[in-house]
Every structure is written in C-alpha cells, then in structure tokens.
Structure 1
Amino acid sequence: MDEPVVEIQPYETERDAASALAGDLMALNGVREKLPGKQLRMLDFRLLEKDGGNSAPFQAVIHDPETYRSVMVSGKLSALGEADVRSVRFRPRPDAEEFARAVEAVGSHPELGQVLTRDGAHVYRPMPPLADIEHADGTTDRVVTVGVRDPGGEVKHRVVGVRMRDNAVIPSPAGVPAPASNECETTPGVDDCPDEQPGPRSVRVRVRRGATELWNLVVSRPANSSGTNGSGAELRFVDYRGTRVLYQAHVPILNVQYGADGHAIGCGPTYRDWQNQEACFTADGDDPAGPGYRLCGSAPATILDNGTDSGNFRGVAFHHDGSELRIVSELAAGWYRYISDWRLADDGVIRPRFGFAGVSNPCTCQAHTHHAYWRLNFDIAGAADDRVDEYNDPPLTAGAGAWTPLRFETRRERLPLRRRQWRVINRATQQGYHIVPGPNDSTADAYGAGDLWVLRRRGNEIDDGQGFTTDPVLSRAHLDDFAGGESVDGRDLVVWYGGHFHHDEHDHTPVPHVVGPDLYPVGFH
C-alpha cells in the first residue's frame, strides 16, 4: 500500500475578503454616528448564504474600545451603503496587550507587587476575564481581572481587577471567586510559547495515497474561527474520495456550570467560554503553509498528554499516524485548557473530539460540568437533499422498525438503553454518515439543554449570539430557539451534537477527559 501524503497550502477565504471590507464597513455613516472612536475593530463577520457571490447577505459586529460600545451591521455585499446598523451589547475579552497593561498595574500596587516578588508567585488569566462596573447612567467601566498565585502564601489564589480607564487596581471586584487557600490542579499556568501570527488565515489540506485523494478540506486555526466566541479548529468544504460530506464542522458553543459548593465561593455559577484563544502545546515538525499550521512527524502532545502548560507551538497541528489524519489545537479560556481535535481516518470515519483540562486555580476542585456543542453542517453529495433517521433498539413503537425518519426540526436525547444513534443520508445517492455517540458523552441535564438537534441550515445560526457571561439563563445553549418545526426531509441540514463532561475531584473513579461521537461513512465503498 502506498504511504499517506499530507499536503498543506494557504487558502484564501471569505474572512480574507471580510478583512478587506472592514474599512468600508467602519466608514459607514450609520456606524460612525454610533461609534465615534478612532480605533474601531471588526469582531465578527459572517456570510449568511452559501455561494451567494457579490450579492450575498452578511452580518458584522464592530466595536469601539474608546466608548465600549458595539454595533451589528447587516446588509448585502453589493449594497453596503444600504446596510442596517443597530447597537448591540458585546464585550470583547481582553487581548494580550490589554491584559499586559492590567498586569503592569497589579505589579505596581504596593501590596500585590510585594506578593509577586515571592518565590513561585505569578499572575495568570482567571475566570471571569472581566468584572465590569455598570453605572446608573448606562455607562460601563471596563475592569480586566488578573489572577495572582502565591503557592507559598496563606492565600494561594486571589482574583483582582484593573479599571482600564485609569489603571486603578480593585483588590476585591464583584463577581469573582473568593481568595482561596487551596489549589485546584497542579499545573502552573505559563502558556509561554511565541505567537507567530500572522500566517495564513486558513489552509487547504489534502491526504493522498498514491493517485487516490482520500481527504480534501479547508482548516482554520482557532484564532481565525467563525462565531461569536470562535469555534476551535474549524473544518470547511470537507470532501472524502471526491464527494462533499461536510460544508462546515466546528464547536461554536462551550459552557460550564458549577454546583452549589462552587457557587458559594464565587465560582461561576456558569461561564460561557470562548474558543478562539490559542494555548501552547508541543508539536514538532515544519510549517509548509506558514506560521500557525504545522505538519508533524510525531504525534503532538497537549496538556492532556504531558501535563504541562508549556510548549513550542500554538495554532493547528497535523499528524498522520498511518491510518488517520489528526487535526489538533489547544485552547485557553481563563484557567481552562480545551483540546479541539479531529481525526479523519483513511476509511472515511470522522472522530470529532473535545478534551478538558486546566491550570492551577481556585475553582475546579469544585464539582462542575462542561458542555461542548458541535455544529455539523452536512452536505452529503450536495447541499439540499439530505434527511436524518434515528435508530432505537428496542423500537419506540412495538412492531415498528428500528430506524425512524425525523421529518421536522427537533431536539433529541441520547438514550443508551435504546442504543440510540442517527444517520444523515442523501436521498438520491444513499450516501451519508452514521452518528454513534461516544461512551463518555453523557446525557444533558437541565442546564446542558440537549444532546442532539436536527435543524434547517440558516446562515445567521452559526451560534446563538451569546458572548461571555456568568448568568445561567444567558450562558445556557439556546439551540431550542432554532427548532421552529420546519421540514428537514430533503433539506440543507445542520446537526448540533452535545457532549457533556462532569468533573468531580471527590469522585475518584477514573473518567476520560475527552468526549465526542464517531461518524461512520455509509455507501462510499
């Protein structure tokens, strides 16, 4: 058998076009009326139709850091001057430069600066990332939080705030975990590898054996991924053996909920996390398409593999082990570390995986549950003729078959007692994918919202639009809002799949810190 060959080349995407449009959007009269600042930033851009060309509808979010206000711009590419502009509530997380300013202020504080001179003491990014102060007149003071770890001190962790308009240090901001004498996790948060951006925003990846092309797809690193909060390592235009199987695959929604004990000490009670901040991990190899995309000769090692927050790379690493291509990245959200991982096997099996870890902090000793939601926009041999069937054994109705078509938009539970599974099939070609839940994926509780949704594809439903928040009502995945009862028989479909990981250090039963289903090809051989 021929050896596998992996080719990686730069790929120009619509987000490159979005960067070119940014100046035109920021100059619109409607934008300038609401955002007078001189350093506007475009935080999100999405096209709402597939292959819409120059007349495609779009949405963009533009932020003014001077006034701390944002707007959403909606319109068509061919008529920017007619775009609608409305104010929206959006709080961008602190970038590296802003966090460094906050750290400098903490280091200059008489008491905290002294703490940081002690052996082993250091700062880190905590949760929540912001502790903003809202005033009665509707204005907001932006307060960036900084974690201070003093491993030899009586208080090992404290979270302080810095008011960015005047760099004033707030020793005890509202809404953060209480000072803690205990330590959760043993890995110090260092995240010390260089960030070599900019490289290509996306890359085209091909896997061949001899003259046979097995996989052809586009991959975007988490820093360039789509969605309100990013979506990890993102796959698009995924072809297997020359047949389109996925238009887009990513994890746009990620959240965590703490139990009563955690809430009592200021953890959570929930966090809506983000998936576009990259963390360091170990990946040895070359960067054939430029910084941020590495082809490895040996398996990459994340914090789940080696227990360290250090590394030599951030971005997306690729490694073919002789039977499958692994596409992996490590993410950071405060003290959490997440692993965004895809495995594309030579026989067509797709294994989405998401891993959970953390660095030293005051909260994760308390029982909590993570929820990760994959968005899988299937385009089996084309975009508009797919259906979804559900398997139950024993069947839902006595005398009925095990497979039942799902005809309308719906939310479904994962029922292990019925061996519940699903398949997405193109009605004309009978090709598709069989979705088998992973053994560690668990079943959603009330906050987890659900296990699987079958929905019509709509361009404005990449996610539910919720940015970072600690509010349980807001941070919960609002995917039920998309299930309006429309037909999904022979349509362009999106399957949302939820994986749920419960972490309780008081339960010593070994549990893998990775969730994800297996997707088996149907009718491709």
Structure 2
Amino acid sequence: MTEQESGLRITVEPYDPEPAISATRMALLEHPAVRAVLGDAELSVHNLELSDKDSDRAGFEAVVHNARTCRSAHVSGRVDELESVSVRPSDFLPLASEDEYGQAVELALRDPRIAELVDAHGLTPYRPMPPVLDSPEPDGTRQRVIAVGLRGESGDLAHRIIGVRLADGSVIHEPAGVAHPTSDNCEATPAEGGCEPSAGRDQVRVRVLRGSAVLWDLVVVRPEASSGTNGSGIELRYVDYKGRRVLHRAHVPILNVEYGGAGVRAGCGPTYRDWQNSETCFEAVGSEPVGPGWRLCTIPPQTILDSGHDGGGFRGVALWYHNGGLRLVSQLQAGWYRYISEWHLLDNGTIQPRFGFAAVANPCTCKVHTHHAYWRLDFDIITPGNNVVEEYNNPPIIPGTHWHTKKYEIRRTRDAAHNRHWRVRNKGTFMGYTIQPGPHDGTADAFGAGDLWVLRYHAGEIDDGHGFSTNPYVSRADIDKFLNSESVDGQDVVLWYGGHFVHDQAHPGTGGHIVGPDLVPFNW
C-alpha cells in the first residue's frame, strides 16, 4: 500500500484464483479419454481457462500436449463433470521453453559449420522469429525444431537463422520459412543478461481509494498467467468503478503482424501470430507489496518505448499513480519484438487501454510491416445482461438520428468522416461507457480483419483458438467466426476492438508506436 497524493491510496492485495483450476489441471494429465488420444507419455496442460461466469458450474477449455510425439488435443467440459470431457486433436504447438532454446544453442555451437561462422563473424545467439519451425515428416508426424538466430555486430553477415531438431541434435543450416541471411540490422541492441524470471502471484486485487471512497476495485492478472491460446497481456477482471461493475474481463487475446512486399522477399513472415504471455525486463523502481512480479513504483516505470533501451531490473506488472490516474504496465517479448501492455485507470472513470510496439536487433522490422492488436472487452455495465450497444454517426447514416442501436451481432469499421464511435449502456439505468477510437488506431486492411465487433457473450469465445503461425490464413484474426446473427439488444455483450499500427521507418509519421481507444463513462 502507498499514499502518493494527499488522501489518495493504492492498495495491492493477494487474490487467490479459482481452486478448481489446479484440480482440473491434475485430473486432465491422467484422464483416460485424453490419454486415449495422446498416449501414455508425460503430458503437459496449456491454456487452461474457466470459461463460464457461473463459477459454481464452470466450464473449462484446455490444451494438453505430448512433447514426445509433438501432438496436442483440445479438451473441454465442466469442472464438476470431469468424467465427461470432450477431446479432439489440435494443431497447437507450444513455444520453445528457456531450457529447449538453451539446448538448441548448445547443439548449434557444436556444429562445425556454425562454429566456423561464429568465429569468422563474431556471431552471438538470440531468439528469433519464428521461434519454432514446423517439421512434418512423410507419415504426418512432426519433429520439434527450435529456431536459433545468430547476430553479428559488424561485417557482411548481421543475421542468420538456423533450426535445431531436438530429437537427434541435427542442425538445419538453411531452414524454410525464416528470414534470409543478411547484412541488414534493424532496431536497438538487445539487453545483455536481463533479469531473472520472477515467481510470485499470478493475480492481485487492486483498489484506488480517495479518502474512504473506493474509485477503482479490480483484479489484475499478470501477462504470464493471462488467458487465451497465446496469453493476452495484462488482463483486467471484475472491474468496478465507484462500486458499480464496468467490465467482467478486458484483455488482448489476439496479436499479429503482417509484412509488405519487401519483407516477404527477405523471408520475413509473411505474417506472425504472436504471443502475449512472455514477460521481459524493463525499469521499475519501488516496493513489492505482495512479493515478486508486482511493483508499486515511486518513479515512472521505463519501458523500451520510454527510454529507447531494452532491458532493466524488473519483470512483471508495474503500477504507477500520477496526475489523476493509475498506470498498469508490463513489457513483453515475442522473439525480437517487444510489446508494451498498458492500462490507464483515471480518477474520472475513464479507462485507456494501450498497446505499444518495439523491437530489438533483427533482420526484418526495418521493412514496412503492420501490427494488429485486438482487445476483447466483456462489458457487464451494472449487470451481466440487459446491456445494449449503440453507434454514433455525424453526419447520420440513419435519417433523423445520430445514434442507432445494434440489434444483432455485427462487424463495423472506424469512420472518422462520420465521427463514428460507440457506447455500451445498461437499459435499466442508462448508465454506460463510450468507446472513443484513438487518433492513431488505423483502419483494418484485408489481413487486419476489422475494427470493431459487437458480439453476444458465450463461454469459450475467449479467442479464435489459433496458436503461433506464419501462415496468413491461420495468423489472421478469425473473430468473424463468432458472428452468428444473434440478438445483442438487452443481452450480455462483448466488444472486440482492433488497433492497427503501420511501422514504416522511412515515413514514421506522428502517431508514435502506441494504439488504443478511450472508454469514457456517462451518467455514472
């Protein structure tokens, strides 16, 4: 707990997640239906998520993986009926762990050709994109191949990416699907060493109080424990403002990037579906009220976008209160990318979701590319149901009114020419929140899929289920599959909001490297 302004207090307290999660995880590892599909090898559970708002009879979704055969299965059911789970094969492949990557580097450096390159060019290993190379065999089985980047400080070979097959230790010198060897070198030098991974709590309860009045009361989940197939950055749950519910959950379950022609010709992408659950180091100074991974700052935290430098001494979620608002921030890594996950909770009730984009030394990001981040905003304005979504246009697109109600599920585009924005309100109280697009949030291209979706809440629709891929058909956001023409008038509604950032070093523009809307209360 700290007091950073007169009469203002921030409290950070332990919060214990559902006990059913750990019990379900253990049951799935030995479940006969799971082993009938994946075999009797040692299994691991990934992405276990309670999917219902009714925690007494919570449904769950999970992926179970057999590392020996590189096969996975999607498992779903209810935590109180584990004898009756549904199991189906999945193409999910887990990312390379720290141990696997370290093993791959060790094997690569034993290879005579690689050792000669390292000596000749002063190359050092790094974690590239893609992190894992899919290696299908003629009979349909797959091999675990870890990608290893080799970076030189100077000379005619700045970057080269190889693959290491863990099963037999063999090195693939020219794997398909990676950036070509090049002298190009983009972005800043990555930090050496970094900070130690921080154990600690997955989630905490945060409150902002002014005097005896509670402004904000919510649960915050750190990125490494966030929900979804690929994680979802800093995740907010059970968000109350002045004692009334705003959001059941808010997070970024889908993140991807697409390269233009120059990048594709260089072997970059052509697209990547990235992940949002790998925390990396940044600067944050302050106390740790609930132990490692949570830091209540005494000076502003500094990410790579703030300082221009990679690395720091902290990994997790930093909290900083300043000038009428609480900032929650974490720095993430996906290969050479650095992503900034932020939420700003202002005293006046405004919520500012923010996502930032950066990178460290690599062969690709100096080529034009576009980042796409998709927030999932599960609104429960006052109550889970009885919510309505309305859209504003000026000039009107429906004669006689600037506002119109969305009756059924729909995808919409941003339209600055009509000052288009949206609001979610409770039909009984007329209290609600307006969604104002950010000035630099862009407009979706064909790969970007869309700018806003209005959906009816369903358990299991946390994300589109796609894991990491370079395949444009897989890595593209597939939120459209949730559009079923269901009624959303007076229902439990979920909004997906897309932000699109074009990174062109030759024409940097004025928008910076951050996207995100403002969620502004009305009649509160």
Could you say whether these structures have the same fold, taking a TM-score greater than 0.5 normalized by the shorter chain as the test? yes
SS of 1:462's equivalent in the other structure is coil
The more displaced of 405-414 and 178-187 is 178-187
Matches within 5 A, 1:46-125: 46-53=49-56, 55-116=57-118, 121-125=123-127
Matches within 5 A, 1:319-338: 319-338=320-339
SS of 1:93's equivalent in the other structure is coil
Q: 2 CA distance for matches of 1:403 and 1:118?
A: 66
Counterpart check, 1:9 vs 2:16: no
Counterpart check, 1:179 vs 2:181: yes
Amino acid at match of 1:426: N
Alignment partner of 2:22 out of 19, 38, 57: 19
Deviations 1:67-119 (A, max 9, x none): 11111222221121121222211100001111111111122222323444578
Deviation at 1:511?
A: 3.4
SS of 2:99's equivalent in the other structure is helix
Percentage identity across aligned positions? 51
Give the TM-score taking structure 1 as reference length: 0.97
Matches within 5 A, 1:350-499: 350-398=351-399, 400-499=400-499
Deviation at 1:510?
A: 3.7
Q: Partner of 1:256 in structure 2?
A: 257
Q: Partner of 1:153 in structure 2?
A: 155
SS of 2:24's equivalent in the other structure is helix
8 Å Cα contact 1:121-1:149 kept in structure 2: yes
Deviations 1:248-271 (A, max 9, x none): 000000011001111111101100
SS of 1:8's equivalent in the other structure is strand
8 Å Cα contact 1:343-1:350 kept in structure 2: yes
SS of 1:395's equivalent in the other structure is coil
8 Å Cα contact 1:185-1:358 kept in structure 2: yes
Counterpart check, 1:513 vs 2:513: yes
Deviations 1:50-73 (A, max 9, x none): 0231x3222211111111111122
Q: 2 CA distance for matches of 1:319 and 1:186?
A: 26
Q: Partner of 1:213 in structure 2?
A: 214
Deviation at 1:472?
A: 0.8
Residues paired across the two proteins, number: 520
8 Å Cα contact 2:255-2:274 kept in structure 1: yes
SS of 1:78's equivalent in the other structure is coil
Alignment partner of 1:36 out of 36, 39, 59: 39
Amino acid at match of 1:23: M
SS of 2:80's equivalent in the other structure is helix
8 Å Cα contact 1:37-1:66 kept in structure 2: no
Counterpart check, 1:345 vs 2:346: yes
Q: 1 CA distance for matches of 2:480 and 2:203?
A: 31
8 Å Cα contact 1:202-1:220 kept in structure 2: yes
Q: 1:117 to 1:323 in 2, by over 3 A?
A: farther
Give the TM-score taking structure 2 as reference length: 0.97
Deviation at 1:397?
A: 3.1
Deviations 1:219-258 (A, max 9, x none): 1111000000000000000000110100000000001100
Q: 1:464 to 1:508 in 2, by over 3 A?
A: closer
The more displaced of 181-190 and 56-65 is 181-190
Deviation at 1:282?
A: 0.4
8 Å Cα contact 2:59-2:459 kept in structure 1: no
Deviation at 1:322?
A: 3.7
Amino acid at match of 1:517: P
Q: Partner of 2:271 in structure 1?
A: 270
Q: 1:191 to 1:486 in 2, by over 3 A?
A: farther
